[in-house]
Amino acid sequence: MTWFLDHLGDVQDRTLQHVYLAGLPLLLGLLLALPLGWLARRYKALYAPFTAGFGLLYTIPSLALFVLLPAIIHRQILDPVNVLVAMTLYTVALLVRTVADGLGAVPEHVQQAATAMGYTRVKRFFAVELPLAVPVISAGLRVAAVSNVSIVSVAAIIGIPQLGLFFTDGFNRDFYDPIVVGIVACIVLALLFDVVIIGVTRVLTPWIRATGGRA
């Protein structure tokens, strides 16, 4: 506890770095996954190659990706951009299927009703299909958020500053305190991400509370 209070500044800096490295890719990954998921839904022939192909990205171990990416995108190995790209790839890998399945779960009669009311395809997507898919997409996003927070800490092995550095610091000095503080901070951060996503989902889906879950 004393260690924690003495190093409050460090904890704050690294938490912010961690939020940036784990959080920004969530948004970028979601933005990329939306059109990809929509394509997989719209053209049935794309569903299998898209979901399986992006799923394969997830099989690449994080440490391996952190080392391979700099060589592929021509960056220094210590450049945080590598971590951002890697985490974005993992987020996309998880979310493409989720978005496709979420859009697919929108009932046929709802889509027909929207079309009958004069919605164009684009308007129908943004005003009807996407909002109704929010609960499913948000469930996928929560999984991605929690695993991102954990995976980002691995980047400490190659020396990229975030909460994971407390693990390497503590280990190198045979000292428990930073490790425990780092683990707790990671779990709290994962929890915070979760709470934010749940909160945003609630705001975006007022009908769930109004009707008890019926769309």
Q: Where on the chain is the footprint of other proteins (CB under 8 A)? A: 47-48, 51-52, 55-56, 58-65, 67-68, 71, 77, 94, 97-98, 101, 139-140, 143-144, 146-147, 149-150, 153-154, 156-158, 163-164, 166-168, 170-171, 174, 176, 179-180, 182-183, 186-187, 190-191
* Cα Rg, the chain, nearest whole Å: 20
Shortest CB 116 distance to other proteins, Å? 29
Residue 26 amino acid letter:
L
* Nearer Cβ to other proteins (168/205): 168
Shortest CB 153 distance to other proteins, Å? 4
CA dihedral 122, 124, 126, 127 (to 10 degrees): 150
Work out whether the CA dihedral 166, 170, 173, 175 comes out positive or negative: positive
CA distance 169 to 172: 5
Q: Which residue has the tokens 């994962």?
A: 190
The pair of structure tokens assigned to 171 is 């280990």
* Nearer Cβ to other proteins (81/191): 191
Shortest CB 101 distance to other proteins, Å? 7
* Nearer Cβ to other proteins (13/177): 177
Closest C-alpha to 24, from 204, 144, 140, 159: 144
Shortest CB 152 distance to other proteins, Å? 9
* Nearer Cβ to other proteins (124/140): 140
